[in-house]
Structure 1
Amino acid sequence: MPKPDKREEILCSALHLIAEHGFHGAPMAMIAERAGVGAGTIYRYFENKDVLINEMYKELEKRLTAYLLEGYAVEQPLRDRFLHLSTAVLRYCITNPIHFKYLEQFHNSPYGVAHRRDKFLGKSVQRDLYCELFEQGVTQGTIKNLPMVVLCSLAFGPLIFIARDHILGFVTLDDKLINNIISACWDSLKS
């Protein structure tokens, strides 16, 4: 079995340590130790901790996007696409709790604030599936004409909280409950 490369070991170690201890609780020396590399080795792959944190986010975003796109059909009705994306987001989060914890850390930090600002102000190069869906829905009159940040809050807020509560053991999600939650999110958005 081939040994993972050092860059992947460093990313994996950073993912777990940051998810567990937060950005400040996971110094580069601790990441290096967990990855089994010298502290200086990290800097061959990542200029600094900020670059490492952002690279890990980009990697997780790629994985999540690939998961969301599995079975996603642009020609489907708006509601069906929303249900698909939201179900996929929730399932990804609950089946990848370490990824979810890292993403939570990221989105609730200055890194995530800058990322969201760029997305909502149109400075991000990458288009967001949800933003496209919401823009189309508002144009069609299917979705309430609210600011994009509000639409995203109505769609994601409940998913984030319920994923967290599932991971913490406060609620057990099954297919029926997931479907009901996603339908409730849709009901909060539709005109």
Structure 2
Amino acid sequence: MARDDKRELLLQATLELVATHGFHGAPCAAIAEQAGVAAGTIYRYFESKDVLIVELYAELEGRITTALMSGYKANQPIRDRFLHLAIGILKYFITHSLEFKYIEQFHNSPYGTAHRRDNLLGNTESSDAVRKCDIYKQLFTEGLELQVIKNLPMPLLFDLAFGPIVSVARNHILGFIRLDDALIEQIAEACWDSLKR
């Protein structure tokens, strides 16, 4: 098995275990067992479990960014770009439920708190995750300058725009609601309505 293959197996095992059992329910020994590798193999690829957790998050954010940028046109009106991003992220979350669960746990952990603060306030080096955040920040900054969205602090704009999307994705994954394309578009429009002036 190639070196990169083992790394991918470890990332996938971490994703599955953390999404199902949380960070504390995914010790290194369980990750190695799930990946089908020796326990010490993790440390050939990652300095620590913390590094593994953060690297997996960055990889997932990169995947989301790639999906969202497909068909994204920077010259479209603010509303159209926002709807593209909102619809795209909701569709991505409901079709990649393990990734959604992992990201949600990450955001609600000490790892995620520091990461989100740095991204929202611009206190971090450039990475795929930051570029994803920058897409929204650029859109919101432009919307504020053009006075087409409410004049609110950036974290509140993120909350109004994406808080409902996270909640709806969670409810879909849990089976409380069933989303189709028409409902997803209505949800994105409702999020836009919460932002626009």
* Shorter-chain TM band: over 0.9
| 2:118 aligned residue | 118
State the TM-score, normalizing by the size of structure 1. Answer: 0.97
CA distance in 1, matches of 2:5, 2:185: 40
Supply the AA of the counterpart residue of 1:134. F
1:147 aligns with 2:153: yes
Gap change, CA 1:3 and 1:114, over 3 Å in 2: closer
Residue by residue over 1:85-131, the C-alpha shift from the partner in whole angstroms, topping out at 9 and shown as x without a partner, is 00000000000000000000100001110111101221123342111
CA distance in 2, matches of 1:120, 1:82: 17
1:188 aligns with 2:168: no
Gap change, CA 1:163 and 1:144, over 3 Å in 2: same
CA distance in 2, matches of 1:76, 1:157: 24
CA distance in 1, matches of 2:3, 2:141: 45
Residue by residue over 1:36-89, the C-alpha shift from the partner in whole angstroms, topping out at 9 and shown as x without a partner, is 111111100000000000010011001000000000000011100000000000
1:178 aligns with 2:184: yes
| 1:132 aligned residue | 138
Q: How many Å apart are 1:10 and its aligned residue?
A: 0.5
Q: How many Å apart are 1:134 and its aligned residue?
A: 0.4
| 1:84 aligned residue | 84
| 1:97 aligned residue | 97
Runs in 1 of length 4+ with deviation above 3 angstroms?
none
Q: How many Å apart are 1:4 and its aligned residue?
A: 7.0
CA distance in 2, matches of 1:150, 1:4: 40
Task: Point out where structure 2 has 5 or more consecutive residues left out of the alignment.
Answer: none
Secondary structure class of the residue paired with 1:141: coil
| 1:36 aligned residue | 36
1:52 aligns with 2:47: no
Aligned residues: 190
| 2:167 aligned residue | 161
Q: How many Å apart are 1:186 and its aligned residue?
A: 0.2
Supply the AA of the counterpart residue of 2:88. A
CA distance in 1, matches of 2:166, 2:158: 11
Supply the AA of the counterpart residue of 1:86. A
State the TM-score, normalizing by the size of structure 2. Answer: 0.94
CA distance in 2, matches of 1:168, 1:63: 23
Alignment RMSD, CA only? 1.3
Q: How many Å apart are 1:175 and its aligned residue?
A: 1.2
Q: How many Å apart are 1:181 and its aligned residue?
A: 0.6
CA distance in 2, matches of 1:15, 1:176: 30
